[in-house]
Structures are given as C-alpha cells and as structure tokens.
Amino acid sequence: MTSKLITKIKNRPSYYYFDKALKDDKTITVKYCLFTDNEFEAKAIALKIKNEADNRRNPTQTKNFIDLPLRYKIRNIQKNIKNKSHRLSTTEYKEIFEKVISGIYGIVEADNDMLVDRKECQENDRPKKTQKSIKFTDIASRYAQNESKKSNSKNSGYYQRVARTLDLYFRRKTLSQISYQDCEDFQLHLLNNKKLNKKTINNYTCYASRMFDYAIKIGLISQNPFKLLSPFKISKYEKSPKDNFSMDELAKIFKTDKKELKDYMAFALHTGLRLSEIWSLDENSVGERDGIKFIKVQTAKQKGGDVKFRELPLHKNIYRLSDMKWLTKIKKGKMGCNYLGKRLNKHIHAVLPGSNVSFHRLRANFASAIKNYSLENGFTDVTSVLLGHATDLATDIYAKDISLKAKLKAMDGLNVFSDLRQ
C-alpha cells in the first residue's frame, strides 16, 4: 500500500500524497504537498496520513456485526463498497492532512499551496513511478545521516550491514507487522543458520533496536519489539581472546604487493589507532610542534558521547606516510572504512590461516611494544594515554600533562618493528 502513497508532479520539487476521495458523491484523485523532496521522509509522512485515514475509515466494528453469519458479513461489506463508504470525503482527508502536517511542521491551517488543483490531479491520475516500500536500509541511511552524527558515531557502515540482514529476513513483513516473537526468531536465525557468535548477534540486535527507536521518532511505527529482546549471556569460557602477532607473523602479512593494505597496517602498528580512527584523519590532522611531527586524532570510543582528541607523535618508521596523501587516495569514492577492514582481515587470514588474529591486534602489538620498553627502561607507562583510554577522570587529567617529547621517547619501543618490509 505504501508504494502508492507518494508521487511526483511535473515542475514541482516536493513529493505529494496521492489517494482517492469522494467529492459530491464522485470519486476523484487528491494530492497533498508533503513539503519535502526526500523520498524517505515523504514515505514516512504519507504512511502517517494513511494510518489516520484507515482509522477513520474503519472504526471498530460492533459486537452485533461480529456475531452475524458469514453471508451477512459479506453482503454488508459488498453494500459498503457499492455505496463507496470505504472512501473518505475530501473534507475528511483535508482534516487528516492538516492534523498530520501541523504535528510535523507546526502548520495550523492548510493554505492553497498545500492542495493541487483538481484538474492537475486528474491529468496526473497515476504516479509516474511506483515507489518501493520503506526498507531497513532506508532507515539506516537516515539514521546514519542524522542520529549517528549527533552521537559522533563512526558505525554507519555497521547500521547498513544490519539493515540489509533485516531486509532479507523480514522481506515479507512491514515494520508494523514485526512482533517480539519475530525478533526472537531472528536472533536464533543468526545463531543457528548464520553461525554468528553471540557477541556479534548482540551487536546486531542492539543496532536493530536503535533503528526501531528512530522509526518511532519519525512516526513509522508505535513500538519497538527489539526493546524486549534479551541479549545472549556470554560466559568467560565462550570468549575467544585474540592473539598478538608474532614478529614472524608480522613479517608475513607485510609481505604484500597491495600498497594500500601495507600502508594502513604500518600506520596502525606505529600509532595504535583503531580502523575508524585512521579513517577519520586527513591532511589537516598533521601538525608539528617543537620539531616533533604529530597527528591529532579524535578518539573513537568515549563514555557519555564526549568528543576528545589526543596527540600522537609520528614514529620515524612512518615518516613517509605523514602527508596523509596515501589515505586520501584510499578513501576516494568510499563511504566508510568497513570495506577496507574486510580486505585487511581477508588478507591476514589468507596469509595466516588458522591463526586467531585480526587487523585490530596491530593495536595490541603497538601497546605491548611500548609497555615492555617502558618497563625495561624505568619509564612511566603512558600506554593508556597513547591508546586513548579514558576510563576515569584521573586518566584525562594525566593525559594533559604529558608532553610530545615524553610520548615520543616512549614510542622508541616501536623500533622493534624497523626491520619489517614496510
């Protein structure tokens, strides 16, 4: 039904709500301006108008009607259809439209620009193009554009991945038809059929719940069935700790002709940055103070949605990457870093089959090298500061007092990686 709710009119940028209504006992086409050229927003508003219309058109049936024999029920329905009682009047539609639009845009009364001339409606009696129904991928896109930016989320790609999975699984259901039992079945589907681990499934259901909350905010649905879903409990025996790369393993993964992969791995190994933190950098992220080149990076994970930055000196092993042009080239035409993460891990697992390692373990190798060097040379351990861990207030205060020179000295521990083919 939602596919027929919106249409475009020639030489007009906004979408219009499209339906049939009664005027002087004649069926005509009505179109109402939705004041948006965004297809997703138009669908959401149109769906709200349609729901209001359906509620007014189909009031709760009386007990007497329910108790009638089937043949009388059919006869009653046929009579209503013949009398066009299933159609709302143009006046009723106008009231519904004003109610919905006023709730969204704050418009109190419809003006002439809201309505399309009857003649024009009849000339455009059919939508030019059938619109697709609202999908989870549509919601994910809008969420990533709006809500995730507010919380400074770097996981827009993850939302799209979850949304595609939801679209595939719930392809025969609309958003409002999805029940708690459906969500629970989806959860078990990921476990038994997709063979995903419990932590990944918990992430999927968490992201799905956020998208349902967003759908409630924009008026698509009234409740979130994923909210009631309990996550899988993960015992300490089910957790799979990742191993750090050995020096031999590092030598193997760096032995590749794919320059973009090699550069990304080298930068991660010598900065300890997360995949998304590297992706967020550009040429403006590089600075120099007291003769020390450094990068200013926004820390990806902070409690309470705080936006925090940290300064990391650039080790001599990656001076060649300091202009960030290599990263700009990698990012060209790409929406996010997830595709590169897949490529990196595919490369690592191909070189080291059966090993319990991933790209993220380069960050752990960075931490181990600095921590060991600090302990062996009697330095204060600044590993947490370099990694961007801000678990408490003390860490935040501590980080402010550490100079670039002190950080650079601690990063001499990265000299152990100098012999790698980078």
Q: How is 100-141 classified by DSSP, letter by letter?
A: HHHHHH---S--GGGBPPHHHHHHT-S-SSPPPPP-HHHHHH
323 vs 304: CA distance, rounded Å: 33
Which residues in the chain are classed under CATH 1.10.443? 247-417
Within 332-392, where are the H helices? 338-351, 361-376, 383-387
Nearest CA to 420 out of 274, 316, 317, 312 is that of 317
The pLDDT value recorded for residue 129 is 38
Q: What is the CATH number of domain 247-417?
A: 1.10.443
Distance from CA of residue 355 to its chain's centroid?
Answer: 30
The pLDDT value recorded for residue 419 is 87
Please write the tens of the pLDDT for every residue from 333-391.
887 888 898 899 999 999 998 787 889 999 999 999 999 999 999 888 888 889 887 54
The pLDDT value recorded for residue 133 is 59
The pLDDT value recorded for residue 161 is 82
- Residues (pLDDT < 50) of the chain are 1-3, 60-63, 65-66, 73, 81-84, 107-132, 152, 391-399
The pLDDT value recorded for residue 240 is 59
The pLDDT value recorded for residue 31 is 80
Please write the tens of the pLDDT for every residue from 17-56.
878 888 877 888 878 777 777 787 788 888 888 888 877 7
Which CATH class for the 136-228 domain?
Answer: mainly alpha
Which residues in the chain are classed under CATH 1.10.150.130? 136-228
User: CA gyration radius for the chain?
Assistant: 29
Instruction: Identify the sign of the CA torsion 89, 90, 95, 100.
Output: positive
259 vs 418: CA distance, rounded Å: 18
The pLDDT value recorded for residue 214 is 85
DSSP H helix total and E strand total for the chain: 19, 6
Structure tokens at 351: 């070189």
104 vs 32: CA distance, rounded Å: 14
Q: What is the pTM of this model?
A: 0.51
